[in-house]
Chain A
C-alpha cells in the first residue's frame, strides 16, 4: 500500500483553497470520466483516484486529518487512539455517497481505506458528486480483448476464457471480424447498492498469417502464372481458404487480371452456409533468364509481331 499524494492527483498546491480544489476536480473529472472515455481501459481507475482525492480534500475535516497524518498513514489510528479529540468513526450520517460517485461501488484505494476506515461509510456526505445511498446502479461494463488467428475464425468453435476470475465458455461464430465486439451480459462489475451487474464487452483482434487478405467477407489473393500460360491459356491449381481448386486460364490473359471465385471467401458472420467471394489477381511472371534458344524464339516472335 502506498501513500497517495491527493494534492498531486488534483494538481493543486498544498495551500489550495476549497474553490481551487473544486475547480481542479471538475476539470479533471470532465477529462477522465469513464462515460466520456468508454475505450480508455484505465479511465475508471483514474477517475476513481480523482474522486477519492476530491472526497478527502474538499471536506475540511478529512483534509485536516490527511494533512496531519497523510504520510504517516500507517500510524494514524494509533495517533487517534492516543488522545485526538476529533473522531472520524464509521457510521456517519445516512445518505453518504454510494460507491464514491463511481461505477463499481465502494472501490477505494487501500490507502484511502486505511486512513478513513473502509470507504464510503466513514464519510458523512462529503462529496459534491455524491449519490443517494440506496440508489441502485448497474455495474460497470468491462472491456476485454481476445486474439485469434484468421484460420481459427473460419469455423464456429468454442473457447473458454477467464475474466476477473470468472470462467466463461463462449461460442465464437465463424466470420467474426477484426475489431468486432460482442456483449456478454452480466459478466461486468458488481452493481452499486444491489443494482444489476454490468456487461462484458469482448473485442476480437484477428491476426492474419495467411496469404489471403480479408475485407469483410471477401478474400483477396495474388496468383503467379507463367508467361506461356498467360499467352496460350491453360489450367492452374490455386489455393483457396479451404483447399485447392482448378482454374482455366484463357489465352491472352493480361497481367493484373482479376478473377472472382463466388462463395470461396470468408464465412458470413452468423449466416451459416453463406460465404463471401475470393478475388484472385493474376501476376504474370516474365522469364528473366533466357537460354540462347529461347532468346532466338522470342526474337523471332518479336519480328513476326512487328511485320
Chain B
C-alpha cells in the first residue's frame, strides 16, 4: 500500500479526542484494518469517513462497536439488495415492453 495514503493513528486520536485503545478495539472487531510501519500504526485515509461514522454512531446513538458492526453489515446488505432490485427492475422492463 502506498504510505502517502496512510494517516498515523496518533494524529486521529488527537483530532477526535479518542484513546489509542479505541482504534485497537476497532481493529479487534474487524471494523478497520491498521497498518504497522516501524512501530507506528496507520489507517488508510480512505477509511477516515468510516471512522467518523463510527464515532458519530457511538456518541449520538450510544451504540457499542459490536452493534455498529452489525449496522454496517446490514447497511451493506440493504445497499446490495437495492442495487439488485434496481437491476432486476431494469431487466423486467425489457420483457414487459
Is B62's CB within 8 Å of the partner chain A? yes
| Pairwise interchain contact A179-B75, C-beta atoms closer than 8 A | no
Is A197's CB within 8 Å of the partner chain B? no
Complex partner residue of B97 from A129, A135, A136, A213, CB under 8 angstroms: A213
Q: Is the interface of B mostly helix, strand, loop or mixed?
A: helix
Task: Evaluate whether A36 and B91 lie within 8 angstroms (CB atoms) in the complex, with A131-B59, A135-B17 already known.
Answer: no
The chain A residue sitting closest to B82, CB to CB, is A39
Complex partner residue of A135 from B16, B57, B61, B82, CB under 8 angstroms: B16
Complex partner residue of A220 from B15, B57, B59, B94, CB under 8 angstroms: B94
User: Which of the segments A27-35, A76-84, A238-246, A265-273 contacts the partner chain?
Assistant: A27-35
Is A264's CB within 8 Å of the partner chain B? no
| Pairwise interchain contact A179-B15, C-beta atoms closer than 8 A | no
Q: How far is the CA of A232 from the CA of B83 in the complex (A)?
A: 45
Q: How far is the CA of A136 from the CA of B49 in the complex (A)?
A: 12
Is B86's CB within 8 Å of the partner chain A? yes
| Pairwise interchain contact A129-B59, C-beta atoms closer than 8 A | yes
Complex partner residue of B17 from A101, A132, A178, CB under 8 angstroms: A132
B window 54-93: CB within 8 A of A: 56-57, 59-63, 71, 75, 82-83, 86, 90-91, 93
Instruction: Say how far A131's CB is from chain B's closest CB, in angstroms.
Output: 6
Q: How far is the CA of A167 from the CA of B58 in the complex (A)?
A: 36
Q: Which residues of A contact B61 (CB under 8 A)?
A: 26, 29-30, 33, 36
Task: Evaluate whether A215 and B90 lie within 8 angstroms (CB atoms) in the complex, with A26-B61, A136-B15 already known.
Answer: yes
Q: How far is the CA of A59 from the CA of B17 in the complex (A)?
A: 25
Complex partner residue of B49 from A36, A138, A213, CB under 8 angstroms: A138
| Pairwise interchain contact A35-B57, C-beta atoms closer than 8 A | yes
Q: Which residues of A contact B15 (CB under 8 A)?
A: 135-136
Is A214's CB within 8 Å of the partner chain B? yes
Q: Which residues of B contact A103 (CB under 8 A)?
A: 56
Complex partner residue of B86 from A129, A130, A135, A179, CB under 8 angstroms: A179
B window 2-21: CB within 8 A of A: 15-17
Q: How far is the CA of A214 from the CA of B75 in the complex (A)?
A: 28
Is B47's CB within 8 Å of the partner chain A? no
Q: Which residues of A contact B90 (CB under 8 A)?
A: 178, 214-215
Task: Evaluate whether A129 and B94 lie within 8 angstroms (CB atoms) in the complex, with A36-B71, A137-B52, A179-B86 already known.
Answer: no
Complex partner residue of A215 from B60, B71, B75, B91, CB under 8 angstroms: B91
Q: Which residues of B contact A136 (CB under 8 A)?
A: 15
Q: Which residues of A contact B62 (CB under 8 A)?
A: 26
The chain A residue sitting closest to B68, CB to CB, is A35
Q: Which residues of B contact A33 (CB under 8 A)?
A: 56-57, 60-61
Task: Evaluate whether A101 and B52 lie within 8 angstroms (CB atoms) in the complex, with A135-B16, A213-B97 already known.
Answer: no
Give A203-216 as 1s and 0s: 1 = Cβ < 8 Å from B's Cβ atoms.
Answer: 00000000001110
Q: How far is the CA of A36 from the CA of B83 in the complex (A)?
A: 17
Is A92's CB within 8 Å of the partner chain B? no
Q: Which residues of A contact B60 (CB under 8 A)?
A: 29, 33, 51, 101, 129
Q: How far is the CA of A30 from the CA of B67 in the complex (A)?
A: 12
The chain A residue sitting closest to B72, CB to CB, is A35
Most buried by A among B15, B61, B62, B82: B61
Q: Which residues of A contact B86 (CB under 8 A)?
A: 178-179
Q: Which residues of A contact B59 (CB under 8 A)?
A: 101, 129-131
6 pairs of A and B residues whose beta carbons are closest in the complex: A213-B94, A129-B60, A179-B86, A132-B17, A35-B53, A30-B61
Give the interface of B toward A (CB within 8 A): 15-17, 48-49, 52-53, 56-57, 59-63, 71, 75, 82-83, 86, 90-91, 93-94, 97
Apart from A29-B61, A129-B60, A220-B94, 4 more pairs, CB < 8 Å: A35-B53, A38-B75, A137-B52, A213-B97
